[in-house]
Structure 1
Amino acid sequence: MMGAVGPGVLRMLLLEDSPLDAELIQARLKEEGLRAVLERVDTREGFTSALGRQRFDVILCDYNVPGFGGGAALASARLACPETPFLFVSGALGEDTAIELLKRGATDYVLKDRLERLVPCIQRALREAHVDAERTRAERALRESEERYRLATLATSDAIWDWDLVTQRMTWNDAVLTLFGYARADVGGDITWWYDALHPEDRERVVCGIHSVIDSGAPRWQDQYRFRRKDGGYTPVVDRGHVSYDAAGKPVRMVGAIQDISAHTEAQEVLARQARFGQLMASVGLALTRGSDRGDMLRRCTEALVRHLDVAFARVWLLAEGGDTLVPEASAGLYAHVEGPLGRVRLGEHSVGRVARTREPLLVPLSEGSSRAEDLEWARVEGLSAFLGHPLLVADKCVGVVALVTRGEPASGASEVLRHAADSIALGVERMRAQEETARLFEREKAARTTAEEANRLKDEFLATVSHELRTPLTAMLGWVGLLRAGTLPLEKRARALETVERNARAQAQLIEDLLDVSRILAGKLKLDMELVDVSSVVEQALETVRPAAQARSIPLRGALDSTVRVMGDSHRLQQVVWNLLSNAVKFTPPEGAVDIWLERDGTFMTLFVQDTGQGISPEFLPHVFERFRQAEGGSTRRYGGLGLGLSIVRHLVEMHGGTVGVESEGDGKGALFSVRLPLAVVARKGNTPPPIPTRAQPLASTSPPELEGLHVLVVEDEEDTREMLRALLTSRRVRVSLASSAKEGLELLVRLSPDLLLSDIGMPGEDGYALIRGVRALPERSGGRIPAVALTAFARAEDRTRALLAGFNSHVPKPVEPMELFAVLVSLVGAQAPQARNKS
Structure 2
Amino acid sequence: MKPLRLLVVEDNPDDAALMLLELKRNGFRPESHRVQTAAAMRQALVGADFDIILSDYSMPDFTALQALKVLQETGRDIPFIVVSGSIGEGEAVEAMRAGARDYFAKDRLVRLGAAVERELAEARARRERARTEQDRRMLALASEVLAEPEDLDERLRRLVQLPVPKVADWCTLRLYEKGRGGLRLVALAHPDAERAARMWEVDQRNPLEVGMDFGPAHVLATGEPELVEEVAARPRPVTDVSEYQEVLRELGFRSALHVPMRGRTGVLGVLSLAIDRGDRRLGPEDLALAQELARRAGLVLENARLFREVQDAVRLRDDFLTVAAHELRTPLTTLRLQLGSLMQHARETPMAEELETRLERSMRQVLRLGTLVESLLDVSRLTSGEPDLSPERFDLVEAVRAVVERYGAEAEGVGSELRVSAGPELWGRWDRARVEQSVAALVSNALKFGPGRPVEVEVTREGPMGRVRVMDRGIGIPEDQLERIFERFGRAVSSRSYGGLGLGLYLARRAAEAHGGRAWAEMREGGGARFTLELPLEKEERA
> What TM-score comes out, normalization by structure 1 length?
0.33
> What TM-score comes out, normalization by structure 2 length?
0.47
Q: Report which of the two structures shows the higher radius of gyration computed on alpha carbons.
A: 1
